[in-house]
Amino acid sequence: MLRLFITSTCLLLMCCGGDSGPTNVNLLIITVDTLRVDHLGTYGAERATPGIDLLADRGVVFEQAWSASSWTLPSLATLMTGRHARSHGAVDDRRGVNQEIPTLAQTLRSRGYATSGIGSHIFLGKRFGLQNGFEEYDSELIKHYNQRRESHAQISSERLSDKAIDWIDQADEDRPWFLWVHYFDPHHTYQPHDGLTHGEEPIDLYSGEVAFVDLHLKRLFQHLQEAGLEEDTLVLFVADHGEEFQDHGGWMHRRTLYEEVLQVPLILRGPGLNPARVTQPVSMVDLAPTLYELLNIAPPAGLQGRSLVPAMRGETMTPATLIAELEGPKPVDAVRQGPWKLVIDPIDFSHELYNLDEDPGEQNDLSKDHPQHCATLLKALRAELKQAEVGEGSKVELSESDRANLEALGYGGQ
């Protein structure tokens, strides 16, 4: 009980501008693959998601959060490094995180944290660099990718929560810990779940997958409470990207940077944080700086985002330029300032302009009517990318089995 009081007080003082040293608060990061915001109750979905909604009711909900890209590897690498994709270098299937860039796990481990991860996606394998800094990493569910072609059809949320609960129960009580768990089930191919899936259309199957993940996330969140750790643990919940259901004529993800794949749910709950909703647009590159401040740990040099703690306290932060990047056969960049968003092809410079306040579904291209807005946003994009020093990602060798699995995931030819 004494430790709970001390850590909660330290975090509260830190959020108010104090500097009392590391808080020793635990950190639990939950990432969910391919999770659209409009399928969560707290973001306005008709169907409730009780586990995530309960977390949101007790935490800080960011209503307009952008991912770093529209697929897993660059997005999660940005989360773990606090750098834009072009800086950490993990921008395609053959390049992982630059080994010289410190990750969140490496920094926390150097400050005495026990660090552990539980993965469920081929891109969370050791070769891609997202495991850097973890003392322990459970890759059992990743290894299926090297054993069977249909691994993308496996159902893993129940096992992930079981593994997370077991690890938490066995963690050293005298040492703060950082646990990262990545849930994968909402990713294509969508599997049916008894009592949760209502209908046979792709969107129905997807909705059932989201409900299934939520069911097992609720178990994990309840266990934190029952174990007396809820008030001693900072929880970050975020998706790596969303999913297309022909919103702009396509399916799945990693093809565009429209809002259905770029906007992600983002919730933070922890000691000293009052429930709130933040409407200001924010970016995934801001998460590492935010976590370092909340844990009162000095961040490594080179972070390209900014802490969102002022916004979490209800303060209005200076509007930031948000960017997202997608490399590949058809590269595309996106930049946002306030309600204005520019989507641009970096090769031929064809572009689209949207006002997200008036047109959140991006159906009305305003580029011909507002050339000055296009020019301003393009200039802002170039300035932001120029500040993000280009980093060379670590080389990743892919086997034939790897390529087959990537094709099964919809990533062929990338």
> Is-contact 264 32, C-beta < 8 A?
no
Within 194-284, strands assigned E span 233-239, 244-245, 251-252, 263-269, 276-278, 282-283
Cα gap 259→104, rounded to integer Å? 27
The pLDDT confidence band at residue 23, using thresholds 50, 70 and 90, is confident
The strand pairing partners of 326, in sequence order, are: 332
CA-to-CA separations, 327 to 239, 291, 394, in angstroms, rounded = 20, 28, 16
- pTM for the model stands at 0.89
Q: Is the pLDDT of residue 387 over 60?
A: yes
Mean local confidence (pLDDT), 132-145: 79
Question: In CATH, what class is 15-312?
Answer: alpha beta
- What CATH number does the domain located at 322-408 have? 3.30.1120.10
Per domain, the residue ranges of the chain are 15-312, 322-408
Element (H, E) at 66: strand 60-66
Q: What is the pLDDT of residue 411?
A: 55
- Fold match between domain 15-312 and domain 322-408: no
The answer to whether residues 41 and 47 touch, using CB atoms and an 8 Å cutoff, is yes
Query: How high does pLDDT run on average in the chain?
Result: 87
Mean pLDDT score, 215-239: 97
Q: What is the pLDDT of residues 251-280, one digit of tens each?
A: 888 799 999 999 999 999 999 999 999 999
